[in-house]
Amino acid sequence: MNSIWIYLLIFAVLETAEALRCWKCQSTNDKNCGDPFLKIPTNSRVTNFTTEIAAIVTCKQPILPFNHPKESIRAMCMKKVAVFGERKYYSRSCTFLPVDQIPSKKCPDHETNVPYDNVDHCDICGRDLCNGSEVQQSTACLGVLVITIYLLLFNK
């Protein structure tokens, strides 16, 4: 019985080491990308299988110069709102932030200081699918729950 708990704990810890997954869409192509965000991933919509609708993507580490260690940047999910005239445009995607700037909820400068983008607000987060409207539970919470239950049941 104890080995089952150990395997569950190992699985929970390993699961959190996977690459970050984020929503990717633009309201110019997908009206569901705005607020409120209607989470309909590409692989579940029957009527339209294009990449122009919301998709769940895995954030891949960008190619860096040889003198720039990969550990110095981290993938983050981003939600950006830009205003053109009277209209708001939404985009959700992956971005990358230097580790020394984390924990920051502010988007990196290369995402907001763009001449043609009038950014109203921009948020980043570091949990799977956190750039949707509601907060997703992390697998790390499962690990903490498993450890707590194990300690309560078997350490009397």
- Contact assessment for residue 130 and residue 77, using Cβ atoms and an 8 Å cutoff: yes
Q: What pLDDT, on the 0 to 100 scale, is given for residue 69?
A: 60
Give the structural domain span for 151: 1-16+138-156
Q: What pLDDT, on the 0 to 100 scale, is given for residue 16?
A: 47
Q: What pLDDT, on the 0 to 100 scale, is given for residue 51?
A: 47
Q: What are φ and ψ of residue 69, in 5° steps?
A: -65, 140
Q: What pLDDT, on the 0 to 100 scale, is given for residue 107?
A: 79
Residue ranges in the chain modelled with pLDDT below 50? 13-16, 44-51, 134-138
| 30 in the same domain as 54 | yes
Q: What are φ and ψ of residue 46, in 5° steps?
A: -80, -30
| 6 in the same domain as 24 | no
| 127 in the same domain as 85 | yes
Three-state DSSP string of 21-45 = EEEEEECCCCHHHCCCCCCCCHHHC
Q: What are φ and ψ of residue 61, in 5° steps?
A: -60, 130
Q: Say if pTM beats, i.e. exceeds, 0.85.
A: no
| 116 in the same domain as 78 | yes
